[in-house]
Structure 1
């Protein structure tokens, strides 16, 4: 069964890049052409990259590794959380706090604070305080939960990081690189594919595209977890317990360098057919989708990167 068919990628709009005036020359080799001022990504290369990423995730998890899903832009927040939870992994979908990886022990203290506040709220201890103090602590809890919800059970650094939009999540990419943690990153035509070891050329703005990428990575993690459980004779741990198991140490092989799986035949003529038939309509649909969410084409261009906590 293929990771994703060419037609699935086309229907998800993964082949649509940014406007031709906004591009990174390093993405030239992944560009099929341009239509109406929009770059078209070569999906044959995307299929190969996606298949390689699937294999890396599967093998990492089967060897006891854990994956961190990262995507804080509006389009990515819901699928990142949903798919990470589905495969029993961790995620950050609200805001990347500087030092999340490079200053991991400090972040863990914030996680401990969140867990303490949750316990005190659950057992009614906050109700014993003054209204003002209780409100202050609940506000603190809500803030911590928003930023740390997806990693509050993560007790060690991840073995692999999956990132939607490596340009927006530049701090996460640099922290992972500094610690030697490999990254799988979705790179649009305005990004640097050399920033991550496992780039996947594709649209990182369309909701359907982001959904597909997250689903494929989660499926790979689930397959890897199933393989790992079969390899552990007499071990009946489920995927959800995998995260808390202290026996899964970080000595597990992180992102093995396995040979790429044999390529499945690409559906002949599909790319040309779609480009000829409906590029303009698909571009209009994508723009309307972003407008409905209140997202402009330039939203990811001028954000200030807070690196004050990176160590």
Structure 2
């Protein structure tokens, strides 16, 4: 796994925190200095935390577990959708559906509803509806797609969350904590790093900063998925192609 150097993080503006008056005191260990009323993040610590998070996510992917990426803020949503989608991981980039984790059964019902509408369109049932009914169904389908599209294949709770901006996504973090689901997150100087299991101190507002972090962690996920695929292929090769022949029964003459 390729590590990100402090210079690369610096060039991406990862070190820029919030205004000093907006800081969370629990971020003090990750703050290098104050400059022009802005806190500067210690990138040496960011690099270490980013590597820790990447290693853990790689192991999760290698074991076949799913990581749900969450980012609904404007500057992060497209980046997260791109990188999470590239490694076939579920993501939420629109509104976080309340109870997404704590009331997962209800969310699954909504996904089933979306799938049933798709089935109606395939088998021709949709065309038998009136024009008004078809319009209502289409609107319902569009809304479900917007809210749940990227998680339509998620049949069980995710093994972990990756969050951009834990202040903005506080409901998601709370739900994960309630269910003991580990949380990886980009935490800026206005955040409380104690809220998550794998905090990555970094600028969570600038697109370049978000992108370099997302690129790094999804590269790690990709390596984990590749390792899993290789392990599966090896397992198939190691299996005998044919079942061992059963020993022939001895004839009566041989038994005598």
Give the TM-score of the pair, scaled to structure 1: 0.73
Q: Is the 8 A contact 1:3 1:54 kept in 2?
A: no
Instruction: State the match for 1:181 in structure 2.
Output: 181
Post-superposition Cα deviations, 1:219-272, rounded to whole Å, max 9, x if no partner, equal 111101111122223459xxxxxxxxxxxxxxxxxxxxxxxxxxxxxxxxxxxx
Q: CA deviation at 1:15?
A: 0.5
Post-superposition Cα deviations, 1:145-203, rounded to whole Å, max 9, x if no partner, equal 00101100001111111000011111111111111110101110000000001000000
Post-superposition Cα deviations, 1:80-101, rounded to whole Å, max 9, x if no partner, equal 1111111111111101111111
Instruction: State the match for 1:37 in structure 2.
Output: 37
Instruction: State the match for 1:11 in structure 2.
Output: 11
1:9 aligns to what SS in structure 2? Answer: helix
Q: Is the 8 A contact 1:58 1:224 kept in 2?
A: yes
Q: Structure 1: which 5+ runs fail to align?
A: 237-311
Q: Is the 8 A contact 1:72 1:93 kept in 2?
A: yes
In the alignment, the residues of structure 2 paired with residue 131 and residue 16 of structure 1 have an alpha-carbon distance, to the nearest angstrom, of: 54
Structure whose residues are more often helix by fraction? 2
Q: Is the 8 A contact 1:104 1:157 kept in 2?
A: yes
In the alignment, the residues of structure 2 paired with residue 3 and residue 71 of structure 1 have an alpha-carbon distance, to the nearest angstrom, of: 23
Instruction: State the match for 1:223 in structure 2.
Output: 223
Q: CA deviation at 1:127?
A: 3.2
Q: CA deviation at 1:7?
A: 1.8
Instruction: State the match for 2:249 in structure 1.
Output: none
> Structure 1 residues 170-179 or 123-132, which shifts more?
123-132
Instruction: State the match for 2:240 in structure 1.
Output: none
In the alignment, the residues of structure 2 paired with residue 103 and residue 211 of structure 1 have an alpha-carbon distance, to the nearest angstrom, of: 31
Instruction: State the match for 1:78 in structure 2.
Output: 78
Instruction: State the match for 1:58 in structure 2.
Output: 58
Instruction: State the match for 2:134 in structure 1.
Output: 134
Q: Structure 2: which 5+ runs fail to align?
A: 238-256
Aligned CA RMSD, in angstroms, stands at 1.4
Q: Computing the radius of gyration over CA atoms, which structure comes out larger, 1 or 2?
A: 2
In the alignment, the residues of structure 1 paired with residue 153 and residue 182 of structure 2 have an alpha-carbon distance, to the nearest angstrom, of: 21
Q: CA deviation at 1:2?
A: 3.3
Alignment CA distance shift 1:208-1:129 (3 Å): same
Alignment CA distance shift 1:210-1:235 (3 Å): farther
In the alignment, the residues of structure 2 paired with residue 77 and residue 125 of structure 1 have an alpha-carbon distance, to the nearest angstrom, of: 35
Instruction: State the match for 1:148 in structure 2.
Output: 148
Give the TM-score of the pair, scaled to structure 2: 0.88
1:21 aligns to what SS in structure 2? Answer: helix
In the alignment, the residues of structure 1 paired with residue 123 and residue 51 of structure 2 have an alpha-carbon distance, to the nearest angstrom, of: 47
Instruction: State the match for 1:68 in structure 2.
Output: 68
Instruction: State the match for 1:111 in structure 2.
Output: 111
In the alignment, the residues of structure 2 paired with residue 113 and residue 145 of structure 1 have an alpha-carbon distance, to the nearest angstrom, of: 11
Q: CA deviation at 1:76?
A: 1.2
1:186 aligns to what SS in structure 2? Answer: strand
In the alignment, the residues of structure 1 paired with residue 16 and residue 35 of structure 2 have an alpha-carbon distance, to the nearest angstrom, of: 10
In the alignment, the residues of structure 1 paired with residue 133 and residue 236 of structure 2 have an alpha-carbon distance, to the nearest angstrom, of: 47
